[in-house]
């Protein structure tokens, strides 16, 4: 091996530093009445050099109409390195797309505590390198443009501030395990809500034990409406920003029922408190360890069907606190915030959660068994109308989420499936398979409990093979054929053989049978009739209609969405329709021979003369009589 030699001057300086460290250590230990050693002095010096800094943030919003959140970040070192690298995450866990949050950063300034500017340079898209001049504490100031209200981004305006810390707060390289505090200076009379615990004795100061927790805790700052309630001895809170037609007490009543049903599955609520942050604009939700961010239309709580859809969202994000946040697939935590975190298990992480949202509402008595089955039938109808089900498996859809799910184009219907939708269906089929194979003694609940105890409780993430193994343990037999066909493969699903186990039959009927079928999906925008999607195998696909075409005439008459629909209703399979379109501003005539409709709509019915076992399994599944 090679050895390194030093000049006399360097050797002398090293000895001096070493002697000084020993002296400091000796004095400290004598003061404690301990006997010092040189080796202990070296260890203490190395520990000081490698110790992460004390990290604190202050977030303020002095001018909300500018949409600029102002961040002060302080890093206090016991022994400062010569160079510090600060990084901005590129994505938010739970939303699998690289979003490049650094693009919103501006006005970056670094100083020491005396106000002296420190040198820095940006070395790649999300990294700022700072020359510390060995300053024990450095102060970083920057602003982030926040004008995008989604559950994964940031928004500041005269109504509120909402942000995800992953989209706002930088982290020091190699210090993701370090604790930090966040102080919020609200605008005006605004209040602060977050899942992070408060620092005792401090106003609007919160603490995170590490960056995974920090980045998992969104903030809402506004003059919100809120209500606190207790379930199983744990405090829960709804925080609502915006006016709407909601009944907060009714929401609490029904959410309590959902929480109770989750408690029955897992036997505990693994948090001290939980916060539901609701913004009454937009749509969607994002899960966190002890909170969730929800967005809903302000008038979306009436009639009953729309309110039920909101409760589905609540149940989905709440169930995630087990499935994903604690029962973690292979790559989903601890997180790499600078790169994609690939997994083949989003069909479980999201698909199983989507399945449970409806199941929880049924168990809570918030929907009937037939309402639940009608929802699942519509989901199956949508899946069966997608040619992409033969192109992409559930595992492939999960792995490719980073490049496909959030970037769907006009051809997505032909080469993709949703790991949410097909994942929900396949997890439902898996649940019924387990129930049937175990004669009703086991279910998907037992799979979730197994993963919770054997993986989360033991500090492990699970792999694809682990989910199959857990399901097989509960079924009491091999499920290789099921997983090979419906999870890893692209086979057409044999619904009948599975649903019959609980006495159900899936019936499909084709609406408009006997009428001419074009196959293109259109939208009317600004008086223009545009082709948006063309499923493979339809007459429009096979005979040359393109997405992006503007249909201006049908058989020589001015086109509109209503006229296209009425024209097709009068034609039969085999008839020809002449479409006049603009394509790239050039006029074209396209004669298209119509075919028969191909998309079925599915419904559930009971099998004829169900057996006692089928009746019993149905009752155990949906707590209702098979009719």
Count of other CB atoms within 10 angstroms of residue 588? 14
> Average pLDDT for residues 425-451, to the nearest whole number?
98
Mean pLDDT throughout 599-609?
96
**154-194: pLDDT as tens digits:** 999 999 999 999 999 999 999 999 999 999 999 999 999 99
Tell me what the pLDDT averaged over the chain comes to.
92
For residue 51, what pLDDT is reported? 82
- Average confidence (pLDDT) over 445-449: 98
Residues 6+ positions from 44 with CB-CB distance below 8 Å? 21, 25
* DSSP per-residue letters across 282-330: S-EEEE-SSEEEEE--TTTT-SHHHHHHHHHHHHHHHHTTTBTTTB-BT
Q: What is the pLDDT of residues 6-62, one digit of tens each?
A: 333 333 343 333 443 333 333 343 333 344 444 443 444 344 456 899 999 999 999
Three-class SS of residue 454?
A: helix
The answer to whether 196 and 208 are in contact (CB under 8 A) is yes
Alpha-carbon distance of 320 to 299, in angstroms, equals 26
- The label of the residue with tokens 């949202």 reads 357
Please give the Cα distance from 77 to 208 (Å, whole number): 18
Is residue 538 within 8 A of residue 519, CB to CB? The reply is yes
3 state SS of 523: strand
pLDDT of residue 467: 98
Sign of the dihedral through C-alpha 297, 298, 301, 307 = positive
The stretch 445-459 carries a mean pLDDT of 98
Q: Could you give the CA distance from residue 400 to residue 416 in angstroms, rounded to a whole number?
A: 10
Confidence grade of residue 135 (pLDDT, cut at 50, 70, 90): confident
Q: Is the four-CA dihedral 616, 618, 623, 626 of positive or negative sign?
A: negative
pLDDT of 513 reads 87
Q: 518, 602, 600, 611: which is closest to 559 by C-alpha?
A: 518
pLDDT range class, residue 413, cuts 50, 70, 90: very high
Query: How far is Cα 472 from Cα 437, in angstroms, rounded to an integer?
Result: 10
pLDDT in tens, 266-277: 999 999 999 999
pLDDT at residue number 133:
86
Residue 355's pLDDT band, with cuts at 50, 70 and 90, is very high
Which residues neighbour 437 within 8 Å (Cβ) at sequence distance 6 or greater? 475, 476, 477
Mean pLDDT of 133-142: 93
Q: Mean pLDDT over residues 311-335, rounded?
A: 98
Handedness of CA 161, 162, 167, 171 (dihedral sign): positive
Q: What is the pLDDT of residue 50?
A: 66
CB neighbour class for 315 (10 Å; exposed up to 12, middle 13-18, buried from 19): buried
4-18, 299-313, 358-372: range with lowest mean pLDDT: 4-18
- pLDDT score at 210: 98
Q: Other C-beta atoms within 10 Å of 117: how many?
A: 10
- The predicted model gives 576-581 an average pLDDT of 98
């Amino acid at each position: 091996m090679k050895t390194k030699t030093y000049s006399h001057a360097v050797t002398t300086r090293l000895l001096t530093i070493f002697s000084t460290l020993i002296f400091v250590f000796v004095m400290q230990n004598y003061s404690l009445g301990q006997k010092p050693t040189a080796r202990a002095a070296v260890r203490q010096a190395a520990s000081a050099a490698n110790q992460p800094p004390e990290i604190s943030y202050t977030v303020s919003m002095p001018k909300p109409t500018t949409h600029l959140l102002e961040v002060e970040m302080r890093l206090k070192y016991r022994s400062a390195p010569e160079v510090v690298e600060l990084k901005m995450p590129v994505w938010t866990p739970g939303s699998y797309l690289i979003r490049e949050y650094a693009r919103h950063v501006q006005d970056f300034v670094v100083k020491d505590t005396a106000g002296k500017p420190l040198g820095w340079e940006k070395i790649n898209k999300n990294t700022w390198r700072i020359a510390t001049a060995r300053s024990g504490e450095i102060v970083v100031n920057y602003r982030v443009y926040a004008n995008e209200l989604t559950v994964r981004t940031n928004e500041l305006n005269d109504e509120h501030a909402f942000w995800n810390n992953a989209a706002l707060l930088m982290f020091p390289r190699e210090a993701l395990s370090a604790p930090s505090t966040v102080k919020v200076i609200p605008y005006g009379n605004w209040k602060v809500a977050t899942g992070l615990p408060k620092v005792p004795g401090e106003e609007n100061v919160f603490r995170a034990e590490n960056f995974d927790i920090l980045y998992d805790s969104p903030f809402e700052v506004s003059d919100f409406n809120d209500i606190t309630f207790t379930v199983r001895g744990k405090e829960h809170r709804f925080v609502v920003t915006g006016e709407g037609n909601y009944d907060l007490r009714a929401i609490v009543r029904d959410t309590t029922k959902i929480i109770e049903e989750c408690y029955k599955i897992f036997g505990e609520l693994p948090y001290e408190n939980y916060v539901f942050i609701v913004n009454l604009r937009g749509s969607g939700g994002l899960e966190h360890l002890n909170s969730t961010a929800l967005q809903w239309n302000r008038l979306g709580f009436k009639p009953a069907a729309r309110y039920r859809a909101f409760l589905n969202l609540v149940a989905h994000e709440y169930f995630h606190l087990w499935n994903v946040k604690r029962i973690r697939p292979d790559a989903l935590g601890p997180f790499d915030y600078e790169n994609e975190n690939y997994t083949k298990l989003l069909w479980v992480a999201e698909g199983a959660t989507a399945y449970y949202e409806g199941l929880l509402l049924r168990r809570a008595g918030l929907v009937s068994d037939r309402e639940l089955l009608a929802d699942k039938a519509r989901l199956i109808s949508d899946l069966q109308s997608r040619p992409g089900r033969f192109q992409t498996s559930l595992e492939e859809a999960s792995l490719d989420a980073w490049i496909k799910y959030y970037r769907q184009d006009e051809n997505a219907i032909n080469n993709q499936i949703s790991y949410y939708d097909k994942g929900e269906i396949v997890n439902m089929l898996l649940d019924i398979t387990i129930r049937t194979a175990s004669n009703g003694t086991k279910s998907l609940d037992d799979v979730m409990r197994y993963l919770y105890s054997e993986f989360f409780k033991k500090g492990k993430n699970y792999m694809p093979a682990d989910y199959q193994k857990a399901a097989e343990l509960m079924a009491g037999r091999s499920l290789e054929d099921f997983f090979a066909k419906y999870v890893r493969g692209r086979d057409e699903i044999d619904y009948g053989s599975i649903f019959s186990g609980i006495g159900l039959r899936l019936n499909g009927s084709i609406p408009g049978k006997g009428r001419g079928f074009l196959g293109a999906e259109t939208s009317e925008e600004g008086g223009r009739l545009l082709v948006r999607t063309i499923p493979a195998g339809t007459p429009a696909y096979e005979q040359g209609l393109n997405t992006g075409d503007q249909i201006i005439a049908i058989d020589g008459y001015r086109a509109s969405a209503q006229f296209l629909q009425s024209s097709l209703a009068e034609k039969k399979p085999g008839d020809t329709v002449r479409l006049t379109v603009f394509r790239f501003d050039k006029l074209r005539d396209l004669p298209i021979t119509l075919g028969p409709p191909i998309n079925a709509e599915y419904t559930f019915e009971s099998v004829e003369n169900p057996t006692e076992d089928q009746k019993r399994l149905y009752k155990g599944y949906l707590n209702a009589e098979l009719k």
